[in-house]
Amino acid sequence: LPAGLSQWFPALEVLDVSGTGLAELGAELLALPRLHTLLAKNNRLGGPGSLPKGMGQAPLGRSLRVLNLSGNRFAEVPPALLGLRGLQSLSLGGNRLHGIPPDIQELRSLEFLYLGGNFITAIPPELANLPSLSYLVLCDNKIQSIPPQLAQLHSLRSLSLHNNLLTYLPREILNLVHLEELSLRGNPLVVRFVRDLTYNPPSLQELAGRTIKTRNVPYAPSDLPENLVRYLSLASNCPNPKCGGVYFDSCVRQIKFVDFCGKYRLPLMHYLCSPECSSPCSSASQSSTSQSESDSEDEASVAARRMQKVLLG
C-alpha cells in the first residue's frame, strides 16, 4: 500500500485492493479511522508480516466491519484479526486453513463467516459462542462431524456444509429453529450412513449413578465426594420417551433418518441408554396426512419441518 495513504484519504471508508498481487498490507491502514470495508481477496497474502501488527488496538480495529481475505495463502486464521471486535463480516475462503482457532469466539459482533474452500477438518465448539452469527459457510472442506454446540447459534439463518465428509448430523441441529438454508449436497450422508455401532457395557460407577438418578435417591453434596457429585450432574436423559432412563459414559450411538419438509430424509445421531432401548424417531415417511401418522410424529420430525428450505441439490 502506498505510504501516506491515511494523509491523502483520511475519510476513506471503503478500500478494495483485490487482485493486485499484494503480499502484505502496510501499517498505513491502521490510521484510517473511518475505514469500515476492506477487500483484499485474490492476492498473495499469508506469509509473515502480511497483516500489520496491532490491528485491534488501532483506529482500524474500532471502525472495520467487513474484511474479505479470500483467495490468499493463509494457513491459519491470522491472530491479528481476532482483535477486531467490531467485525461483522469475515471472509477467508479459498485459503489454506487447516483449522479454526477457538479464539474465534472473541469476534462477538460477527454476523457472516465464510471459510469455504479450505482444508478444515474440525469445527471448534467455541464457534457456538458467536451470538449474532447468521450466515456460516464451511463448504468444500474436510469436515467429518458437527459439534452439537452449534445448536446454540440461535441467530443462524444459513448453514453451508456441502462437499465435506459428513456421515451424520447431531440431533441437536434441529434446535436451529430459525435456520432457513441448510446445504448438504456432496456429503457421504446423502448416500450412506453408519450401520455398525459398538456399545461398551456400563461401569459399576455408571450403574450406581443410573440407579440414583432414575429412582430419585436423595443425596446432598456433603454425602458424597466432590468428584461423584460432579459425575452425577453429568447424567443425560435417554431420548426415548418410553424409557425414562439416563446414561453417563456408556451409550448406544444410532443413526436414524428424520424427514425434512416431507421430502428429504437425513441421518441424525441419537444416543440411547442401552441396546435394548429403541429410538423414538420414526423411520416412516411423513408424506401421509392420516391422523394415525400425525399422532405418531416424533419431536425431531416436527422440529425439522420448521426449516423452510433445505438445499440438497
- 3-state helix, strand, coil split of the chain in percent (to 5) is 25, 15, 60
Spell out the alpha helix ranges (H) of the chain.
Answer: 5-8, 59-63, 204-214, 226-232, 291-295, 299-304
The domain spans of the chain are: 5-189
Measured distance CA(217)–CA(209) in Å, rounded: 10
Question: How is residue 31 annotated by DSSP?
Answer: G
Under a CB-based contact definition with an 8 Å cutoff, are residues 188 and 167 in contact? yes
119-154 as b/e, with b when 16 or more CB fall inside 10 Å? ebeebbebbbbbeebbbbbbbbbebebbbbbbbbbe
Residue 293 confidence (pLDDT): 31
* Location of C-alpha cell 488501532: 58
∠ CA 150-153-154, rounded to 5°: 135
pLDDT of residue 255: 60
**∠ CA(115), CA(43), CA(114), 5° rounding?**
15
pLDDT-derived band at 153 (thresholds 50, 70, 90) equals very high
CA distance 196 to 198: 7
Task: Provide the grid cell at 298.
Answer: 416424533
Average pLDDT, the chain: 80
Residue 103, pLDDT above cutoff 90: yes
pLDDT over 90 at 73, yes or no: yes
Question: Under a CB-based contact definition with an 8 Å cutoff, are residues 231 and 248 in contact?
Answer: yes
What local confidence, expressed as pLDDT, does residue 5 receive? 58
Label residue 254 by pLDDT band (50, 70, 90).
Answer: low
Chain segment 126-150, per-residue pLDDT in tens: 999 999 999 999 999 999 999 999 9
Tens-digit pLDDT profile for residues 31-66? 888 899 999 999 999 998 899 888 888 888 889 999
Q: What is the helix (H) or strand (E) element at residue 123, kind and residue range?
A: none
- Report pLDDT for 269: 67
* pTM assigned to the model: 0.66
Range with the lowest mean pLDDT among 120-124, 204-208, 253-257, 291-295?
291-295
Amino acid at residue number 210: R
Measured between alpha carbons, how far is 307 from 313 in angstroms, rounded to an integer?
16
CATH (one of 3.80.10.10, 3.90.105.10, 3.40.50.620, 3.40.50.720) for 5-189: 3.80.10.10
Least confident of 140-144, 224-228, 293-297: 293-297
Residue 74 pLDDT exceeds 80? yes
Phi-psi region of 41 (alpha: psi -120 to 50; beta: other; left: phi over 0): beta
Distance (Å, whole) CA 210 – CA 170: 24
